[in-house]
Amino acid sequence: MALTGLFLISFLVVHLIGNLQLLANDGGESFNLYAKFMTTNPVIKTTSYLLYATFIIHIVWAILLSAQNRKARTVRYAVTAGSTNSSWTSRNMGILGTIILVFLIIHLKNFWYEMHWGGIAKVVYDGVEVKDLYTVVEVAYTQWWYVAFYVAAMVGVMFHLFHGFKSAFQTLGLNHPKYNPVINTIGTLFSIIVPGAFAAIPIIMYVKSV
Ligand code: HEM
pLDDT tens-place string over residues 37-70: 999 999 999 999 999 999 999 999 999 998 898 8
201 CA: nearest ligand 1 atom: 1
pLDDT band for 13, please (50, 70, 90 cuts): very high
The response to whether residue 35 sits with its C-beta less than 6 Å from ligand 1 reads: yes
110-147: burial string, b at 16+ Cβ within 10 Å, e else: ebeebbeeeebeebeeeeeebbbbbebbbebbeeeebb
pLDDT at 78: 74
Distance CA 170, CA 144 (A): 39
Residue among 107, 139, 149, 207 to mutate when testing ligand 1 (max atoms within 8 A of CB): 107
- CA–CA distances in Å: residue 54 to residues 2, 19, 128: 11, 21, 33
User: Does pTM top 0.95 for this prediction?
Assistant: no
* Bridge partner list, 128: 125
Distance CA 84, CA 87 (A): 8
Tens digits of residue pLDDT in 90-116: 888 899 999 999 999 999 999 999 999
Least confident of 11-25, 34-48, 81-95, 149-163: 81-95
pLDDT at 88: 86
Percent residues over pLDDT 70 in the chain: 99
Going from the Cα of 185 to the center of ligand 1, the distance in angstroms, rounded, reads 26
Distance CA 55, CA 101 (A): 10
Residue among 15, 16, 54 to mutate when testing ligand 1 (max atoms within 8 A of CB): 15
pLDDT at 14 over 80: yes
pLDDT at 85 over 80: no
- Identify the sign of the CA torsion 130, 131, 133, 138: positive
pLDDT at 76 over 90: no
Q: Which helix (H) or strand (E) element contains residue 31?
A: helix 29-40
pLDDT band for 148, please (50, 70, 90 cuts): very high
- End-to-end CA distance of the chain: give it in Å, rounded: 42
Distance CA 21, CA 17 (A): 7
pLDDT band for 82, please (50, 70, 90 cuts): low
* Helix boundaries (H) for 25-143: 29-40, 42-72, 88-91, 93-107, 114-117, 133-140
Report the pLDDT averaged over residues 62-79.
83
Q: Are 132 and 28 in contact (CB under 8 A)?
A: yes
pLDDT at 59: 95
Strands 128-131 and 122-125 come out as antiparallel
Going from the Cα of 173 to the center of ligand 1, the distance in angstroms, rounded, reads 31
The response to whether residue 36 sits with its C-beta less than 6 Å from ligand 1 reads: no
The response to whether residue 107 sits with its C-beta less than 6 Å from ligand 1 reads: yes
pLDDT at 74 over 80: no
Q: Whose CA is nearest to atom 17 of ligand 1?
A: 112
Percent residues over pLDDT 90 in the chain: 81
Q: Are 195 and 155 in contact (CB under 8 A)?
A: yes
E-assigned strand segments in the chain: 122-125, 128-131
Amino acid at 116: H
Report the pLDDT averaged over residues 80-90.
77
Q: Which helix (H) or strand (E) element contains residue 149?
A: helix 144-171
What is the rounded average pLDDT for all residues in the chain? 94
pLDDT band for 174, please (50, 70, 90 cuts): confident
The CATH T-level fold of domain 2-70+90-209 is 3 helical TM bundles of succinate and fumarate reductases (1.20.1300)
Going from the Cα of 83 to the center of ligand 1, the distance in angstroms, rounded, reads 34
